[in-house]
Amino acid sequence: MNDVRELKHFARTHARAQRIAGYQQILDTITGDEGAGPGDWTGEWTRRADSLRARGRLIDAVRHYTMARFPYVDGPARQDAQDWCVQTFSAWAADHRIERLELDQPGGMVTCWAAGLSATEPRPLVLMCGGIVSTKEQWAPALAAVTRFGMAGVVTELPGVGENGLRYDADSWRMLPRILDAVAGRARVSSTYAMALSFSGHLALRAAAEDSRIRGVVTAGAPVSSFFTDLGRRQDLPRITAHTLAHLTATSVDALPGLLTPWALSPGLIASLDLPIAYSASLRDEIVPARDVSLLRTHARRLEVVEHDDVHGAPQHVQETRMWALLSILRMHGVRGPRSGALGLLLRLLRARNGKADRSFGVRG
């Protein structure tokens, strides 16, 4: 059972990220987290999701089911919400040229959603993944934008999240090259770009050090080094973050510092990455220390940092971050044309409207 006040605090961030209308009305009805009954976290989100699904508003229903299983599956109620999330998205995907991939990897099954894969006309690949509380269904609608720009897309989940049957551990980065191997006959995986948010950004950077097929990494709020090495000394890490990490790694909260310290990326590894990195940082990030961004600034060869005066995940800058992430991928791949130009113009207009809230630093190297 989670602390309801903390659940509501972080739910606002994720609800805004998914553009869920009327989320505060749902939060106001929640008084506990004990199951699927009236006033329970999962029950209230699921009831709204069920209503939306019955009215044919499938993606809206998916977003609500995602919140119902937030932050991770810890019992039958959240498992039911997770299952309905997948089933509802499957129904929507069938009409939007999105296919399901089930990849048998060492340690378990990894499930993905994909679009634009073709054995006869393989396209460059965008590999997408969210953080420790984000299901693939949350991000899969972005596949449509990727394919419009002539690229293929695959979206998956961190180990232990959603349908990912792997355990989150020090070797989890190996999942990404194995996904590339699995789709190599239907995508130009030698030109792969990772759009890896939060903790999956850490995996993408680690994988890129070993796999030259990853040609660029776009991330937001990714832990790099200090998050892992300083965990034992931090007293301010949100309880939800700590308990979710403990769940995904199948360990205790007290054992996390010893387990995670070796996961830190070294300055040498960062310096070895001969590829562009685009990083969206939040100035009030309560999870990832500012020192992690400083490490990238000091050692990364080709880096762009965009800063937001916001908390982890930049919930007040969702639209801008999405446009920036896609435009960063296109620039890394050298895509030029009216569509990418229009996207760049929209991004500049949005930044101008935000005024001094954001600061951007150009690519080095």
Separation CA 191–CA 15 (nearest Å): 33
Residue 363 predicted with pLDDT over 80: no
Helix axis angle, 58-68 relative to 41-54, nearest 10°?
Answer: 170
Residue 317 predicted with pLDDT over 90: no
Query: pLDDT band at residue 140, thresholds of 50, 70 and 90?
Result: confident
- Across the beta sheet with 214-220, the strand order is 99-105, 108-115, 152-156, 124-129, 188-196, 214-220, 276-282, 302-308, 358-361
Q: Supply the pTM of this predicted model.
A: 0.91
Residue 339 predicted with pLDDT over 90: no
- Average pLDDT of the chain to the nearest whole number: 91
Separation CA 274–CA 358 (nearest Å): 27
Residue 359 predicted with pLDDT over 50: no
- What is the structure's pLDDT at 155? 97
**Sign of the CA dihedral running 327, 61, 115, 192:** positive
Q: What is the CA radius of gyration of the chain?
A: 19
Residue 71 predicted with pLDDT over 60: yes
**Least confidently predicted of 109-123, 250-264, 312-326:** 312-326
Determine the 3-state secondary structure of 129 from DSSP: strand
Q: What is the pLDDT of residues 169-207, one digit of tens each?
A: 999 999 999 999 999 999 999 999 999 999 999 999 999
What are the start and end residues of each CATH 3.40.50.1820 domain in the chain?
Answer: 97-361
- What is the structure's pLDDT at 365? 41
When comparing pLDDT for 16 and 115, which is higher?
Answer: 115
Separation CA 282–CA 346 (nearest Å): 21
CATH no. for 97-361 = 3.40.50.1820
- What is the structure's pLDDT at 338? 67
